[in-house]
Structure 1
Amino acid sequence: MATIVREFLLDAAPEEVWDAARDVGALHTRLVPGFVVDTVLEDGARRVTFTGGFVARERIVDVDDARRRIAWSVVGSAHREHHSASLQLFADGARTRAVWIADVLPNDAAPAVDAMIGQGIAAMQRRFAAPSLAAQR
């Protein structure tokens, strides 16, 4: 099984980022706008439509407020035997340190999943970017 671990910083307080992350039905508006274009809640899961039209059904495994951690698994995928992931948030001064971990099978699916995670990280970093000094003038 391939494991992907990506750690990154967001220019917002962990409470603000967690408030958006834990809102599992609003990925497209609150956490990763531009990467996800629609999220529809279903019984115990969410149907996520990504930019480009790819759709995944994700079972929400856990939303842990105390640890600021969400875990999910992709179900019913014709492209993957297994795909589970988590996002956990930590305070890093006034910013948030985020850790996104994904486990995938088959192993050769890892580069495509890693590329999508990179796009998700970029969307989160845009969403939680500190305003530039030029924008403040």
Structure 2
Amino acid sequence: MTETVEPRTIVRQLTFDGDADLVWDRVSDFGGTRYPASPGGPAVTLTGDPATPGTERRAALDNGTLIRERLVLIDDARRVLAYSLVEPPFPITDHRATVTVTDEHHRVSVEYRAEFQATAAVAEALEPVMGGAFEQLLDRYAGKDAAG
């Protein structure tokens, strides 16, 4: 019996003291030009303007896997950025990740949400992978890592 492919969602959210505009400046830096990747992180290359939907960023992971992400939306007024995985290295389709930054009375809330089509087994395997990557980025935005 074949497992059913259904819509799946992975979400991570963090609220911390800070300035939403400064955090958005980091989140919206799709190309890593203002805030380069952490030391030891993958080198990122771009295929276009990092503020223009359709631009792709590429990074090779430690295991040699190439990750290609395409910018779908960048909305400075609402502080929302969305991108999709191009040719994901795992069996999913229709991937879209959305990062939203909100100001909550001098506290900043950042939410990462990935939506995609996959089987239950694939979604379960990806939960710690995608969720862990989101958690690392959230910690970075909150200043909880060495890169600040």
Deviations 1:43-84 (A, max 9, x none): 421113445543311110011001100001111225222311
In the aligned structure 2, how far is the partner of 1:31 from the partner of 1:95?
Answer: 24
Change (3 A) 1:111 1:34: farther
Which residue identity is paired with 2:38? P
Which residue identity is paired with 1:109? V
In the aligned structure 1, how far is the partner of 2:67 from the partner of 2:142?
Answer: 24
Residue 98 of structure 1, aligned match among 84, 89, 110: 110
Q: Which residue of 2 aligns with 1:2?
A: 8
SS in 2 for 1:110: helix
In the aligned structure 1, how far is the partner of 2:131 from the partner of 2:39?
Answer: 13
Change (3 A) 1:34 1:128: farther
84-93 vs 42-51, greater mean Cα deviation: 42-51
Tell me whether 1:40 sits opposite 2:48 in the alignment.
no
Runs of 5+ consecutive residues of structure 2 not aligned to the other structure: 1-6, 49-54
Runs of 5+ consecutive residues of structure 1 not aligned to the other structure: 131-137
Q: Which residue of 2 aligns with 1:75?
A: 86
More helix by share: 1
Any conservation in 1 of the 2:58–2:69 contact (CA below 8 Å)? yes
For residues 1-137 of structure 1, the aligned pairs below 5 Å read 1-26=7-32, 30=35, 33=38, 36-43=41-48, 44-50=55-61, 52-79=63-90, 80-107=92-119, 108-115=121-128, 116-129=130-143
How many aligned positions are there?
130
Cα distance, 1:120 vs structure 2: 2.8
RMSD: 2.8
In the aligned structure 2, how far is the partner of 1:38 from the partner of 1:7?
Answer: 26
Q: Which residue of 1 aligns with 2:4?
A: none
Any conservation in 1 of the 2:112–2:134 contact (CA below 8 Å)? no
Q: Which residue of 1 aligns with 2:51?
A: none
